[in-house]
Every structure is written in structure tokens, then in C-alpha cells.
Amino acid sequence: MTETRRLKPFPFTPPPQLVADIGGTHSRVALADHGVLRPGSIRRLENAGQGGLEPLLEAYMQAHAVSDISGLCVAAAGPVRGDRLVMTNLDWTIDRDRLRALAGGDVPVLLINDLQAQGHALDRIAPARIRPLVSSALATDETGAASAARLVVGIGTGFNAVPVHRAGGGLVVPASECGHAHLPAQARDERAFARALASEHALATVEEALCGRGLEAIHRWRSGTDASAAEISAALDAGEAEARATAALYARLLGRALADLALTHLPFGGIYLFGGVARAMAPHLPGLGLAQAFCEMGRYAALMEQFSIHLIEDDYAALAGCAAFLENVTAGQRG
């Protein structure tokens, strides 16, 4: 009699999670498994001509032969109000109900600000992808890095920052729109530029001075010529004097804006810059007065020396943050 071999049941593999980071110019989309980005799934897409977020995500899922997902987390540049997010620098409104219809079934659908996603990614960024720009005067063990607050600052099409706190074994990353606060200006040329900016926009804000179009505005104001942020960056890399003078004023204004944020949030665990403009300007900032402007805070100058400033060189960190946040929420629902 022939013995019948009993086959083991094939283990169930859940559908992937879908995560997206929607900026003013580009969107980054990826698949994740249990909160970990799936290798080879990341795509960087132009927002222009997409017609909205849902068509973009549907096209991505079709291209990757994905029909079912086990969760969706979208991070976008703008404030979340209830179930809707109106983007700051893109004419898109993101609605959670439409995202639920796209996800299908009873799966978690999360909508957060893009800076919150960057904050949730901090613990997942490889040290090699973090470049120091300004060192802290404190020894490493004095920063209390394991529990100290950190600050994530995005500088690209827009400008924003959020604090990152440890609590209850996880991260707490409150939303913010601090890029639309008043621009701090101290030196004569800084105040003159702020007045010119206010005459054009009715208000001189941090974002209008320090995002990509802000760099262009500084260059136009002081040189009298128009140039794109990419052209200014290339000229700066080539050592051109006009571009360097523009970058020096930019570095001082950035230092003052970061100083205000540092005193607001006390990020002894470090300040972390990311975004296209931050990456383009970072190699030049230490030599153009960033640290000096950051520390020019009167009797608090010594305190300012206790904060470090770094550059995040991982362009897809927000996707990892979305995946981490989605998995934490999913795990909490299972528990």
C-alpha cells in the first residue's frame, strides 16, 4: 500500500502596503511589507499632468501588478484637516474617503503631513546617509540622544519643520506649518530684503525666503538678474561671485530661522535638514556663515552651540517613515 504524503499548506502572504510621499513637484511611491520598503519598488514621478493623486496611485499599482493592498499611508505637503489635506504648493486636494475607495476593503488608510513622515523615518536612516554640517559643543553622551527632542526641517519647493519626540516606546511627531511664520532678519541687508519680500507678498515669511523660489528671490533682489534655483546652485558650485553672495545672504537667513526653531523646540538630539534645496546648498553653508548666524542669539549664544545641524541625504526617507507609521498603527489595531 502506497503511503499518501500530506502536503503542507502554503503560508499566507498578505498583500503589500502602499506608501506615498507627495511633494509640490514630485511624488515618491513604494510598496512595503510589514513596515519595510520592498526593494526595487520605489518610483519617483512628476506631478505635472497627473490629474490628481488617485490616478497616479492607480497607474503605479497597475504597473506593479498590485490589485490588493493591506494598508495605505500618504504623506503630503500641506496641513491635514480631518479627512482632507489641501496641498500648499500644488493644486491638489487629497481626500481620505477617495483613498479608502482606492485601497478597497477594511484596511488602514492614513493621511499625514510630509514632514511627519520624515520625522517617523529618523530612526531608519543609515548613519552614512546623514552628513554633519554644524557640530554640537556637547559630548555625545551629554546630548541625551536616546531621549532628546530632534527637529526635522524640509527645504525644497516649500519650507516646514516638525519636532520629533520619543514617548511610550515610539515616536510622537506633531504636525506644523511653521514655514509660514515671519522671517527673522537682523542685519541691514536682511531687513531690506525682508521689506522687499513683504512688498511683493504682503508678508515676508520663512518659506518665501528659504525655499527654491526664495533663493531665486534673494538672487533677483541683490543682483538684479533672474535665475532659477538650479542655475544659482550650479553657479555656486562653479565658484561664481554673484551666486556666492546670494548664497551667503541665504545662509544667514537660514541660520536665523533655524535658531528660532531651535529655541522653540530645544532639539538637543539634532536638527536634520532634507529636501532638494537643502541638498544643493549644504556643501556651501558651513563656509557662508550658517553657524555664526545660528549662534547670534545674544545671551543665549552659548546655548545655541549645544545644537547640531545635519543633512539627510536619503531622498526616499519619507517613504520609510510612512511605512513605519503605518505598521505601528496596524500593530496597535491588531493588539
Cell match 532678519: residue? 185
Q: Say if residue 212's pLDDT is above 60.
A: yes
Nearest to 286 by CA among 255, 262, 240: 255
Helix (H) or strand (E) holding 130: strand 130-134
CATH of the domain at 293: 3.40.367.20
Residue 28, domain member (yes or no) = yes
Whether residue 101 sits in one domain with residue 48: yes
Global pTM? 0.90
End-to-end CA gap in the chain: 49
pLDDT at 1: 43
Average pLDDT over residues 233-247: 97
Position 204 pLDDT exceeds 80: yes
Q: Mean pLDDT check: name the lowest of 45-59, 148-162, 185-199, 271-285.
A: 45-59
Q: State which residues form the domain around 32.
A: 17-114+317-334
155 and 171 part of one domain = yes
pLDDT at 235 > cutoff 50: yes
Phi-psi region of 302 (alpha: psi -120 to 50; beta: other; left: phi over 0): alpha
Give 252-272 pLDDT, tens digit per residue: 999 999 999 999 999 999 999
| Measured distance CA(257)–CA(271) in Å, rounded | 12
296-314: per-residue pLDDT in tens? 999 999 999 999 999 999 9
Domains of the chain: total: 2
Tell me whether residue 1 is in a domain. Answer: no
In a domain, 121, yes or no: no
Residue carrying C-alpha cell 545655541: 304
Q: Are residues 305 and 210 in the same domain?
A: yes
* 316 vs 43: CA distance, rounded Å: 10
Q: Tell me whether residue 10 is in a domain.
A: no
